[in-house]
Structure 1
Amino acid sequence: MEFNLTDHPHRRYNPLTGDYVLVSPHRTKRPWQGQVEKSEEEKRPEYDPDCYLCPGNERAGGEINPNYQNTFVFTNDFAALNQESPSGTYEVGGLLRARSETGICRVVCFSPRHDLTIPELSVSDIEKVIKLWQDEYRILGANPDINYVQIFENKGKMMGCSNPHPHGQIWAQSTVPNEPATEGKFQGDYYQRNRRSLLADYLKIEMKERERIVVENDHFVALVPFWAVWPYETMIISKRHIQHILQFNDEEKTAYAEILQQLTIRYDNLFETSFPYSAGIHQAPTDGLDHTEWHFHHHFYPPLLRSATVKKFMVGYEMLGDPQRDITAEMAAEKLRSLPDVHYKNEATKI
């Protein structure tokens, strides 16, 4: 037999991190005997008087939200990082080591509407979210004590989100966290060897093969990465080699909003549910260095596997060996690509 990616078990390499994922496509042929649950569609009001993120309401820390009309950002009342932590270290025998960490944690409300998520917002409203991300990256990154600004969103109870109001977070800290630090190293090594962006070269391959692309426009591509771990994991990559969100021109900002909307609509349409995920932007550190090696991209890590409630668990071999998946990146991309670009709730309204 001749090896092929469709039928035979194999390991795929992630050039951004140096990690591998075990892919077992032949297992998709086995009958499913796992957990099956019914989906319950949650209906939320436009305004919830008990929501601490809705306009005009009191937050958990006692502050009162303004009656905001678009986006709203504030410092987290119960932040994981703060600027007041004293500096210091702890070290025993060279094996037990700790160092104090300072930072700023911000909460970003995408909309005053309690019942809307990113795929249900208009492109112009998503642009306002992007503008806020740009402002926060600029302001926080200008702080001499901040060397990395991590913009991210946890969507849905399945991802541990404690409030359904559409919002994300920004954690800015003195140290570059593990994941972007690793990606920065591998992008830097590649750039030193080739004098080109790793993700720009990767994108050329993807645009030639076109097997894993979900949606694209003139400035961005959303695809299932060749090395994806989660069943319907995706990544948005800028076609232009830019290092961070402040380098967007006006056309790119609109195109970014459009592709965020189109990708997340397909997510919701997949199982006709508000699709849970953890997502975040990886971009250049804010340590004052040039970082030509960095290429802007946006990760989406959704857990759902077979329905609105059946998710993939990282257990057993995956905790002790490598991540593993049965659905290939190509199968996942084909499924997402084939979905309508109109949100299923709007389709139901038309009927």
Structure 2
Amino acid sequence: MSEIRFDLITGKMVIIAVERAKRPHDFVIAHQEKKGSKNCPFCPGNEAMTPPALIEIKDKKGKWLVRGFPNKFGALNREEKEIEVPALYKAEYGYGVAEVIVESPYHDVTFGGLSVEQIKMVFHAIVERYKAIAEDKKIKYIQVFKNFGPRGGASLEHGHWQIIGTPFVPDLVNKEIEGTQDYIKKERKCPYCEIVQYEKEAGVRLIGENEYFLAIAPYASQYPYESWIIPKIHQEKFEDLDEKHLSGLAEILKPLIEKYEKEFDMPPYNIVLHTLPPEDLRNYHWHLEIAPRLTIAAGFELGTGVYINPVAPELAASVLKIDVLQPARKEVV
């Protein structure tokens, strides 16, 4: 059972997800010895350990290469129940969707070790499930993300993505979209399109590019070695990706994740999609944000919401430089 509770002072929303306390953990503390694939619910042969598949992309022999299913321990679910709320407070039942996309049948292959074609299949599965979830009119926002490593929030070693649909648009998302509208109203231009043009010309925060995407270290990076991948053309919604842009996204994301894995020895990180809510008609420009978890938010960050980043994004970009056309090592499917 989950509840969406609202802070009395700020109105900030919090999901109280008691079911997640019951989930199994491969990672309990950082640097724990790897648990391995023997009892991994995401490995081939263990499909009965997960809910039935919602999507499977298979090879010519019928073996799955990418597999998606409901999250057995999701923070939200589609049940609808009445809950008791104390008179002082506001809350509602945690209606929503939580799904998992397993990115490969191989337990120990990292995301950077996947082939471009395999990464493309992962995004095909994500787009398909995204569109299916968006058909539920009670779902107002769909968050796609990947956690890697214990400090990145991953509770299982086997590489996977998550998709969570919520019955509300999160405050951070609204603030970002409203900021985009304010900029467009003032400057008559999309701020993300402006960033793409400026950073491409300036070069000092440019990490790499291909025909369709630009990878940069954002000017006001919150995290050391943070990066963004932005479509070069103005594209409001992630789910509108066509085949050529899916290929372009896989081709630029693979070497960038490889670079993180190599330079920082498999660091914990998060990849987070920022996109327009399904039925939102406002102007926006979707993108991916990648945050390696190399530092821990401490008292100042928690008390103010202002992050102290000890690494200038200009230095980060010089370290993270990638050649999109030349993968760093042999690819593994």
Letter in 2 for 1:238: P
Give the 5 Å matches for 1:139-154: 139-154=132-147
In 1, Cα distance between the equivalents of 2:179 and 2:51?
Answer: 44
CA contact under 8 A between 1:49 and 1:57: conserved in structure 2? no
CA contact under 8 A between 2:222 and 2:308: conserved in structure 1? yes
Task: Determine whether 1:208 maps to 2:201.
Answer: yes
In 1, Cα distance between the equivalents of 2:274 and 2:235?
Answer: 12
Provide the residue aligned with 1:328 in structure 2: 312
Which of residues 120, 131, 134 is equivalent to 1:138?
131
Provide the residue aligned with 2:40 in structure 1: 51
Provide the residue aligned with 2:298 in structure 1: 315
CA 1:331–1:64: 2 relative to 1, 3 Å: closer
Provide the residue aligned with 1:114 in structure 2: 107
Number of residue equivalences:
294
Structure having greater relative contact order (Cα 8 Å, sep ≥ 6): 1
CA contact under 8 A between 1:156 and 1:275: conserved in structure 2? yes
Give the 5 Å matches for 1:2-41: none
In 2, Cα distance between the equivalents of 1:54 and 1:298?
Answer: 27
Deviation at 1:61, TM superposition (A): 5.9
Which of residues 266, 271, 277 is equivalent to 1:285?
277
CA 1:89–1:295: 2 relative to 1, 3 Å: farther
CA contact under 8 A between 1:44 and 1:115: conserved in structure 2? no
SS of aligned partner of 2:143: strand
Letter in 1 for 2:317: A
Deviation at 1:279, TM superposition (A): 1.2
In 2, Cα distance between the equivalents of 1:289 and 1:119?
Answer: 33
CA 1:338–1:242: 2 relative to 1, 3 Å: closer
Task: Determine whether 1:86 maps to 2:81.
Answer: yes
* More displaced stretch, 189-198 vs 55-64: 55-64
Deviation at 1:314, TM superposition (A): 1.4
In 1, Cα distance between the equivalents of 2:82 and 2:292?
Answer: 37
CA contact under 8 A between 1:53 and 1:59: conserved in structure 2? no
Q: Normalization by structure 2: what TM-score?
A: 0.80
In 2, Cα distance between the equivalents of 1:338 and 1:74?
Answer: 33
SS of aligned partner of 1:196: coil
In 2, Cα distance between the equivalents of 1:196 and 1:91?
Answer: 47
CA 1:140–1:68: 2 relative to 1, 3 Å: farther
In 1, Cα distance between the equivalents of 2:296 and 2:293?
Answer: 8
SS of aligned partner of 1:71: strand
Provide the residue aligned with 1:128 in structure 2: 121
CA contact under 8 A between 2:206 and 2:217: conserved in structure 1? yes
In 1, Cα distance between the equivalents of 2:300 and 2:215?
Answer: 30
Letter in 2 for 1:72: R
- Give the CA RMSD over aligned residues: 2.8
In 1, Cα distance between the equivalents of 2:200 and 2:158?
Answer: 36
CA 1:64–1:342: 2 relative to 1, 3 Å: closer
Which of residues 69, 72, 88 is equivalent to 1:74?
69
Structure 1: unaligned runs, 5 residues or longer: 1-38, 305-311
Task: Determine whether 1:337 maps to 2:321.
Answer: yes
In 2, Cα distance between the equivalents of 1:258 and 1:40?
Answer: 30
In 1, Cα distance between the equivalents of 2:323 and 2:190?
Answer: 31
Give CA-to-partner distance per residue, 1:52-84, whole Å, 9 cap, x none: 111121565676999852110000111100111
Which of residues 192, 196, 211 is equivalent to 1:199?
192
CA 1:143–1:274: 2 relative to 1, 3 Å: same
Give CA-to-partner distance per residue, 1:29-51, whole Å, 9 cap, x none: xxxxxxxxxx9897887xx2311
